A and B are shown apart, each in its own frame.
Chain A
């Protein structure tokens, strides 16, 4: 860990292409061992931000520290400590899964065992198959295996489950949770709210190149502090009450009705409500 105590720290990160601003001044921190999600619509600047952190793109301004180093000036030793899962990598169709993973293992000083990583992403049955025979979801899992093979301290995942069916997505989430449980710091970009809610310790919503809101999925956009709405059936009509103390309201109602309250619901704004409000207000 570096002197600042953060796995990643960015201050005033900026990048434009031509005259168009892709990233317009981002501040962010990621703690070691944390799963951090960058959420946002297409074109919000997620990939640009992540690629600057990965050392693929140069920035126009701001300070960035990733594992204690500026990604503009990093060497092979730094690269050995990070893992990158790119969007849409479809290369080397004529190698087998085991050949490809074994080949990449040879680039690292302390790689994980290829067979173990192939198992972890659920490709054991395909280990001896040529890469061109894999389905879209299987290719994505191979990408993840290649990101993991070096035993990274910090793993970047750019829209890792795009194109997955729901079962494959759940299986993939388990892989990420296992890694995170093992102490790996994970930064992922996604445009799926359920993915961010399921995996991330903290979420930043990126919109138009700036962070519109950041926090834990439960607290994002003041979600935890927002008033709950208690609603119930009363005679012929439906009544509802917004309150900061829903438990007390429910207890009062229970006393009044002498037990069960007809048609009782207690709701808070969903992550989706908060997210749509955030990006709707910015776009």
Chain B
């Protein structure tokens, strides 16, 4: 390249910013890379994707035939609870761990050094999370239908409930996962404890690993502060509607579910906007 053509190119680059690839194209490219990476990484597939399914098969095999009452088996409750847990695993846990690793390995720093629009990075993550969460839900529904007499709802109203609980749950937990990714000092050493431990605790008290009606009232109150309990409750209302008599207050409390999830969505957004960093603590 001669000096003349390179300076012409330089002028063109400055005067035609419109020719930079847009968020749509780069975001889609990020999404494809995110999906390939997620499903090719054995740890991600085993610990995030397969864990809820394995838990459902095991816990269902051990407790699934027990009757919870009113024609509801424990197996039915596990399917609904693990769909809630699976949504949080593929959003919160997935992003909390993977972004911590990407920050530590300089993936984020390298991307920041390119003209990629920052929104494309988040678009890629969101698409990857939605695909993984939908695939997870489908897998759990297949297992539930095959082994635990799960009947898919027929009414559009139930599917509408599923849709908004799923979307609000994925969005709130994704933002919380992105925020949590900044917490561990070292992704390799601390991310499991800092990101996964709170999620594990929530799964025990929110009706994922243990049917919610068996959880002591004071722990239910603790669980009700966090989004997972409301996601599981919403999923029970869709897939085990006859269990309403086992619920606290004998009601699904959809209004409160939407309210709590929306509040966490807003809190997560504020946390992300104020704490997200492209570079690690030691590297600023």
Contact = CB atoms under 8 A, between A and B. Distances in A.
A110 B3 CA distance: 17
Interface of A: 1, 32-33, 54-57, 67, 75-77, 79-82, 84, 86, 88-92, 94-95, 99, 103-104, 106-110, 146, 150, 153, 182-183
A1 B37 contact: no
A107 B279 CA distance: 20
Contacts of A81: 10, 13
B136 to A, nearest CB: 20
Q: Chain B contact residues (Cβ within 8 angstroms of A): what range? A: 35 or more
B198 interface: no
A92 B26 contact: no
A150 B114 contact: yes
Contact of B26 (A33, A55, A106, A110): A106
Contact of A107 (B9, B26, B102): B26
B33 A76 contact: no
Interface of B is mostly: helix
Contacts, number: 101
A76 B3 contact: no
Contacts of B249: none
B3 to A, nearest CB: 6
Interface of A is mostly: loop
Nearest to A67: B10
Given A1-B7, A86-B113, A146-B110, A182 B1 contact: yes
B114 A109 contact: no
A76 B17 contact: yes
B241 interface: no
Contacts of A107: 21, 26, 114-116
27 contacts: A55-B113, A56-B279, A67-B10, A77-B17, A79-B115, A80-B13, A80-B20, A81-B13, A82-B113, A84-B113, A86-B109, A86-B113, A89-B105, A89-B110, A90-B105, A94-B36, A99-B36, A106-B26, A107-B116, A108-B20, A109-B13, A109-B20, A109-B21, A150-B114, A153-B6, A153-B10, A183-B6
A77 B6 CA distance: 15
Contact of A183 (B3, B20, B117): B3
Nearest to B39: A94
A191 B17 CA distance: 38
Nearest to B112: A56
B23 to A, nearest CB: 11
B40 interface: yes
B106 interface: yes
Contacts of A76: 17, 20, 115-117
Nearest to A1: B7
- 6 nearest A-B residue pairs (beta carbon): A91-B107, A94-B40, A76-B115, A80-B115, A84-B113, A79-B115
